[in-house]
Structure 1
Amino acid sequence: MRSIVLTKGVPDFSEGAVSFDEDGHLERGKTPTVMNPNDEFALQAALQTKVRHGGHVTGMSMGPPGYADVLQGAMETVYTDDSYLLSDRELAASDTWATAITLSAGLEKYQDEIADIDLVFAGFKTADGETGQTGPQTCWAMDWPIVTHVIALDIDPDERTLRAKRLVEGDIDEVETVEAPLPCFVVTDPEFEPTYRKASHRLTHKELRAETERRATNHDDYLTTWDHTDLNLDPDYIGLDGSPTIVSSVDPIPKAPSDREATMIDPDEDDMSDVLEEMQPYAAEAGD
């Protein structure tokens, strides 16, 4: 079973990690890049498929060279076998359409030169764009079936079919079961949870973890980078020139008001007994 997981690097929006300029605009160069949180569910679905049915899982991303760290993170945490990065300056400033064209070209090159693909997994949406368009648009370019909002799945290798449970209109109380032929796209929902009920599956999961820890330390040996010439892409149809989306305006992110008061204490000059007296009631509650 050959799976590709599409993943992306996004700014780390955790408290204290994001850097803004004085106008409230995000400074990407000063903000750490992390794996898009929703992509982790796609990776978990691919790993579950590998544990249950064997095979190979590849991480693929389009972005600057720094996204190699995101792919290495995918290998470390979800045990991908190798990584493919689609990267060069001609791809910069791509909207979802130009990104989908590039990713589909990467998938087609992979199929032509590496191996046939059975499944492509994608996250629900990205933390920085939140359009939810790239996965379905890439699927459209490949002309494959797609199943979205997947919360559980399994594969019938003999029949070459995917059987999945998916949320209907995003309502967790309404679930439908669907089938699709392979190859196909799977867009996981944040409610997806991998399951390993058999002892053999749990043992395989443990073995894969140990194997991948060794591989991830030498991630460069398992990383392949393709630029737009490798993918035979016309610069007029990728990057900014190939992006039909027009951004009419950008609103700055308002700075959250501080609603907490802080008292500064210098242990060399202030009496710490007042601090202990203030904290004692909270310590008592924790002990209860």
Structure 2
Amino acid sequence: MNILVCVKQVPDTTEIKIDPVKNTLIRAGVPSILNPFDGYALEAAARIKDQDPETKIVVLSMGPDQAKAVLKECLAIAADKAYLLSDRKFGGSDTLATSYIISESVKKLEELEGAFDMIFCGKQAIDGDTAQVGPEIAEHLGLPQVTYALEAAVADGMLKVNKETEEGVAVIGVELPCVVTYTKPAWEPRYANIKRKLAANRAEIPTLTSEDLPTIDLEKAGLSGSPTKVKKTFVPQKKSGGVKIQEETVEEASAKLFKLLSDATII
């Protein structure tokens, strides 16, 4: 089996910095982490490899050079190979442009690493919460997809996926190759061991640019290829706390609450 896991480095902060002109995230100097949902996708791939040790896991991230940190983290946890997709011409890409660029890079990676049986992604990135990139990659590549996966296993030449639904869990069989996006399962991702950490720190991570993707149309990449337009960004103001009612008895507290609501003409 050959599995590609798409990961993203996201800001580890509660207050995102925004470029006031481009309305894009300012990543320089902001502490970053591996997107948690992508961590679940990587663990799902690792669990498949546990059952079939011949499985190869390749991770891909699109972003600035500092994104190599999360790629090395993935190598330390479970990945066998890692690639960074980075080019100034890709800057400012929205989900549509990002998914297009990644789909073009998949074609290049398959020349280098062989055809992928599965492409795993997190269901969404915590710095955007759109949940669009994974499904859009599937559409660009013309592959079947399953979203909101909890876990997956190979059976009878297909991938059996446990998918989260409003009613509970549905079991879906999907033909290979396919794209699967993962939500939070019942288990947590494994930790890296010392041996893999040391090897990951020494690893050289190749960078793919637009020049490495001969079929890419740059009109569909970056800001020019992004139909999403941000009109305004802001950090919501913190609201002041409400009224705390603390009386000796339930009856006294109820009476005080009733008076407050009556004075405010709410009731």
Q: TM-score range by the shorter chain?
A: 0.7 to 0.9
AA in 2 matched with 1:91: F
The structure 1 residue matched to 2:206, chosen from 224, 231, 251, is 224
AA in 2 matched with 1:228: S
Amino-acid identity (%): 29
Tell me the equivalent position of 1:155: 154
Q: Provide the rounded CA distance (Å) in 2 between the counterparts of 1:250 and 1:114.
A: 40
Q: Provide the rounded CA distance (Å) in 1 between the counterparts of 2:239 and 2:81.
A: 40
Q: Provide the rounded CA distance (Å) in 2 between the counterparts of 1:166 and 1:7.
A: 20
Q: Provide the rounded CA distance (Å) in 1 between the counterparts of 2:90 and 2:60.
A: 15
Gaps of 5+ in 2: 243-267
Partner SS state of residue 64, structure 2: coil
User: 1:256, CA displacement in angstroms?
Assistant: 7.5
Instruction: State the number of aligned residues.
Output: 236
The structure 2 residue matched to 1:235, chosen from 204, 214, 218, is 218
Q: Provide the rounded CA distance (Å) in 1 between the counterparts of 2:229 and 2:122.
A: 24
Q: Provide the rounded CA distance (Å) in 1 between the counterparts of 2:164 and 2:226.
A: 31
Cα 1:71/1:181, change in 2 over 3 Å: same
User: 1:90, CA displacement in angstroms?
Assistant: 0.3
Tell me the equivalent position of 2:231: 248
AA in 2 matched with 1:224: P
Q: After the TM superposition, which of the residue ranges 232-241 and 139-148 deviates more from structure 2? A: 232-241
Tell me the equivalent position of 1:88: 87
1:213 maps to 2:197: yes
Matches within 5 A, 1:252-267: 252-254=235-237
Cα 1:116/1:192, change in 2 over 3 Å: farther
* Kept after mapping to 2: 8 A contact 1:41/1:192: no
Cα 1:242/1:19, change in 2 over 3 Å: closer
Tell me the equivalent position of 2:133: 134
Q: Provide the rounded CA distance (Å) in 2 between the counterparts of 1:258 and 1:229.
A: 54
Q: Provide the rounded CA distance (Å) in 2 between the counterparts of 1:113 and 1:239.
A: 25
Q: Provide the rounded CA distance (Å) in 1 between the counterparts of 2:131 and 2:71.
A: 20
Deviations 1:169-218 (A, max 9, x none): xx3x51111101111111111125379xxxxxxxxx99x95652342121
* Kept after mapping to 2: 8 A contact 1:42/1:187: yes
Partner SS state of residue 85, structure 1: strand
Cα 1:192/1:151, change in 2 over 3 Å: farther
Q: Provide the rounded CA distance (Å) in 2 between the counterparts of 1:139 and 1:73.
A: 26
1:72 maps to 2:54: no
Cα 1:28/1:226, change in 2 over 3 Å: closer
Gaps of 5+ in 1: 196-204, 260-288
1:177 maps to 2:171: yes
* Kept after mapping to 2: 8 A contact 1:19/1:30: no
User: 1:258, CA displacement in angstroms?
Assistant: 9.7
AA in 1 matched with 2:57: V
Deviations 1:199-243 (A, max 9, x none): xxxxxx99x9565234212122xx121101111223221011111
Tell me the equivalent position of 2:30: 31
Q: Provide the rounded CA distance (Å) in 1 between the counterparts of 2:96 and 2:45.
A: 24
Q: Provide the rounded CA distance (Å) in 2 between the counterparts of 1:248 and 1:43.
A: 35
User: 1:70, CA displacement in angstroms?
Assistant: 1.2
TM-score, normalised to structure 2, is 0.80
Cα 1:240/1:3, change in 2 over 3 Å: same
Q: Provide the rounded CA distance (Å) in 2 between the counterparts of 1:214 and 1:144.
A: 36
User: 1:82, CA displacement in angstroms?
Assistant: 1.2
User: 1:113, CA displacement in angstroms?
Assistant: 3.1
Cα 1:20/1:8, change in 2 over 3 Å: closer
Q: Provide the rounded CA distance (Å) in 2 between the counterparts of 1:258 and 1:71.
A: 42
Q: Provide the rounded CA distance (Å) in 2 between the counterparts of 1:258 and 1:29.
A: 34
Q: Provide the rounded CA distance (Å) in 2 between the counterparts of 1:73 and 1:256.
A: 38
Q: Provide the rounded CA distance (Å) in 2 between the counterparts of 1:247 and 1:26.
A: 12
